[in-house]
């Protein structure tokens, strides 16, 4: 029986070197043992001798080195012996790691998962506290210290994450098993500490606890889900753990108070009245005999439209553009971010898809009239970006006055609705793209409707194959537009 002495509980480099020596000496797993630090070896165990000079290098599966490196971080006393047993067997069973039912493989994989889980929890639950350290000359220096109690020997494995994450700080992490310090340039490992070494609360502790208590939402509390993500065994590492039990205990009463003090919501009748008011405001000029008689007048009047609340956050009204006698009107949903800034319809990413489809179908955009069902950009601020929001039915109805006015002034033979919102604005009722797409619908004796998707729908598709498929279908729809209105063909000089 032989033994090899390792420097620390997760000494993978030491284990690898001694395991290669034992393998070269032909020592079977039952002839080999490992000790850590000052641990006493077995009573009849002898130190591992030197390997033969011409010993061959071991051959292992590609996945084994990473598995062994993780395995030796486990707290189980059999970890080094199990890793060596796998190494020994791999010399004869090349595909051993692919046998999921093998007892050694099954045990190793389970231990690997436990180590990875513990390392993940360390990254999530370490809390640094700021302390001052006296220096021989000059004012005290700031140092950040954390106390964590892992279940496995994961300090060496996890410390590089904190070095990358907090590269500009000087910090130390103390655990009962091992300690690590970062001076801004390199990591230094040392023996473990005790609870007495745990840093005292700093000035931020009370602020953090106040914040944690204030964001606790009793109505969304799911104790089992919370404990699955943050098991109780890790609570003693968290300063906020002292609040968890009382917050859970008072969750039901707090949720009841929230219900009792919840603000009342407007009724359905109130919402419908708001919609009617918006439509009434939009139609007021026509009833007063001030309806615009030309597109230029309509465009100027629309600049001052306040029929719905969308005018206020938007940059400007984005009215339709195109010839007064265009044979086709293309109707989109609403202007986007770039259209809102430029003041012109279909000039952003969706506009580029639209232009490309028209060009490939041979349609001259300059001969068509292009507009939107809603003339102001509806969005939700998110950081520095403005994210598109779908307009409500009330907002579409309020803006329908302008769309109807554009139809009356242009008098097109064909209207192309780009998307469900545009189709609803033209028809005055909700329809599905699936049921109405790509076929001509009679609106009156002189006008037809063609429904297709909005170009932005193509851009939102995550699958490149789906994007390519929908692009082809959209281009075919533009070809149907040209078939219905041949004078839209791009002029080519022979």
Of 57-61, 155-159, 443-447, least confident by mean pLDDT is 57-61
CA distance 378 to 383: 16
33 and 80 co-located in one domain: yes
Check residue 236 and give its pLDDT: 66
pTM summary value: 0.48
- Pairwise CA distance, residues 93 & 76, whole Å: 25
Task: Tell me the C-alpha distance between 361 and 482, whole Å.
Answer: 8
- The last residue of a domain, from among 97, 122, 147: 122
**Same domain for 423 and 313:** yes
Higher per-residue confidence, 65 vs 214: 65
Cα–Cα separations (whole angstroms), residue 417 to 9, 394, 423, 426: 69, 19, 5, 8
Q: State the average pLDDT over residues 150-164.
A: 94
For residue 395, give every residue at least 6 positions away whose Cβ sits within 8 Å of its Cβ, in sequence order, or none: 278, 308, 310, 374, 378
Distance CA 454, CA 433 (A): 10
Sequence-distant (6+) residues with CB within 8 A of 416 are: 328, 329, 330, 331, 449, 450, 451, 452, 477, 481
Q: Which of the listed ranges 55-59, 206-210, 278-282, 383-387 does the model predict with the highest average pLDDT? A: 383-387
Q: Identify whether 494 is part of a domain.
A: no
Q: What is the pLDDT of residue 494?
A: 44
Is residue 257 scored above 80 in pLDDT?
no
* Three-state secondary structure call for residue 395: helix
Residue with tokens 């300063």: 239
**320/464 same-domain check:** yes
Residues 430-438 have a mean pLDDT of 92
Q: Average pLDDT for residues 372-377, to the nearest whole number?
A: 96
Confidence check: pLDDT of 282 > 70: no
Residue 214 lies in a domain: yes
Identify the pLDDT of residue 448: 96
Beta strands in 222-321 (DSSP E): none
Query: Based on the domain organization, do 481 and 365 belong to the same domain?
Result: yes
> Under a CB-based contact definition with an 8 Å cutoff, are residues 362 and 332 in contact?
no
Residues in Cβ contact with 313 at an 8 Å cutoff, skipping those fewer than 6 apart: 379
List phi, psi (to 5°) of 396.
-65, -45
- For residues 440 and 295, membership in a common domain is answered with yes
Burial string for 199-213 (b: 16+ CB within 10 Å, else e) reads beebeeeeeeeeeee
| Same-domain check for residues 390 and 420 | yes
Domain membership flag for residue 424: yes
Residue 184 in any domain: the answer is yes
Contact indicator for 441, 414 with CB cutoff of 8 Å: no
CB-CB contact of 323 with 367 (8 Å):
yes
Q: Are 76 and 118 spatial neighbours (Cβ–Cβ below 8 Å)?
A: no
Do 430 and 361 belong to one domain?
yes
Q: Is residue 25 part of a domain?
A: yes
Here the tokens at position 81 are: 């012996």
Residue 320 shares a structural domain with residue 469: yes
- Domain count within the chain: 4
Domain-embedded: residue 493: no
Are the CB atoms for 448 and 415 separated by under 8 Å? yes
Give the pLDDT band (50/70/90) at residue 344. very high
Residues 382 and 247 in one domain: no
- Say if 284 falls within a structural domain: yes
Q: Is 289 in the same domain as 248?
A: no
Q: State whether 69 and 144 are in the same domain.
A: no
Check: CB of residue 458 under 8 Å from CB of residue 474: yes
Q: Which candidate, 423, 425, 391, 390, places its Cα nearest to that of 405?
A: 425
Q: What is the pLDDT of residues 217-235, one digit of tens each?
A: 766 667 677 667 777 766 6
Distance set, CA 379 to CA 218, 311, 315, 388, 402 (Å): 31, 11, 11, 4, 21
Q: Any idea what the CATH number is for the domain that residue 431 is in?
A: 3.40.470.10
Domain that includes residue 210, residue range = 203-260
Angle CA(422)–CA(425)–CA(426) in degrees, nearest 5? 90
pLDDT for residue 201 is more than 80? no
Asked if residue 238 and residue 326 are part of one domain, the reply reads: no
């Amino acid at each position: 029986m032989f033994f090899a002495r390792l420097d620390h509980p997760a000494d993978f480099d030491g284990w690898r070197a001694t395991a290669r020596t034992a393998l070269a000496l032909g020592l079977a797993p039952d002839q080999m043992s490992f000790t850590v630090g000052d641990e006493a070896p077995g009573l009849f165990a002898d130190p591992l001798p030197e390997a033969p000079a011409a010993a061959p290098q071991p051959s292992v599966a590609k996945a084994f080195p990473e598995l062994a490196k993780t395995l030796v971080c486990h707290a189980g006393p059999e970890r080094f012996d199990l890793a060596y047993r796998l190494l020994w067997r791999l010399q004869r069973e090349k595909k051993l790691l692919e046998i999921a039912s093998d007892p050694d493989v099954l045990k190793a994989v389970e231990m690997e998962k436990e180590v990875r889980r513990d390392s993940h929890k360390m990254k999530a639950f370490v809390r640094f506290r700021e302390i001052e350290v006296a220096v021989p000359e000059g004012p005290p220096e700031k140092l950040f210290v954390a106390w964590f109690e892992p279940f496995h020997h994961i300090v060496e494995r996890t410390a590089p994450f904190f070095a990358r994450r907090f590269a500009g700080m000087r910090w130390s992490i103390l655990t009962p098993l091992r300690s690590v310090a970062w001076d801004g340039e390199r990591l230094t490992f040392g023996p473990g500490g005790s609870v007495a070494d745990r840093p005292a609360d700093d000035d931020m502790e009370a602020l953090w606890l106040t914040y944690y208590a204030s964001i606790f939402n009793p109505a969304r509390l799911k104790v089992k889900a919370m404990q699955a993500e943050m098991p109780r065994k890790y609570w003693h590492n968290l300063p906020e753990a002292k609040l968890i039990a009382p917050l859970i205990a008072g969750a039901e009463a707090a949720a009841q108070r929230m219900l009792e003090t919840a603000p009342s919501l407007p009724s359905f009748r109130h919402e419908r009245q708001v919609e009617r008011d918006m439509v009434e405001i939009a139609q007021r000029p026509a009833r007063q005999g001030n309806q615009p008689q030309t597109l230029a007048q309509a465009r100027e009047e629309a600049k001052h439209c306040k029929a719905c609340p969308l005018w206020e956050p938007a940059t400007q009204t984005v009215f339709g553009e195109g010839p007064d006698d265009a044979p086709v009107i293309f109707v989109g949903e609403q202007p986007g971010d770039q259209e809102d800034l430029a003041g012109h319809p279909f000039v952003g990413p969706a506009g580029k898809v639209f232009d490309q489809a028209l060009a490939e179908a041979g349609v001259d955009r300059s001969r068509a009239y292009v507009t939107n069902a809603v003339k102001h950009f509806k969005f939700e601020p998110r950081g520095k970006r403005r994210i598109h929001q779908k307009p409500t039915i009330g907002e579409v109805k309020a803006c329908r006055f302008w769309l109807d006015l554009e139809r009356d002034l242009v008098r097109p033979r064909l209207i192309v609705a780009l998307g469900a919102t545009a189709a609803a604005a033209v028809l005055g009722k909700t329809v599905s793209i699936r049921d109405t797409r790509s076929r001509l619908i009679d609106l009156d004796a002189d006008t037809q409707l063609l429904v297709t998707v909005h170009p932005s729908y193509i851009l939102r598709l995550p699958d490149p194959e789906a994007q390519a498929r929908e692009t082809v279908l959209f281009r075919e729809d533009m070809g149907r537009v040209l078939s219905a209105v041949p004078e839209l063909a791009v002029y080519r000089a022979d």
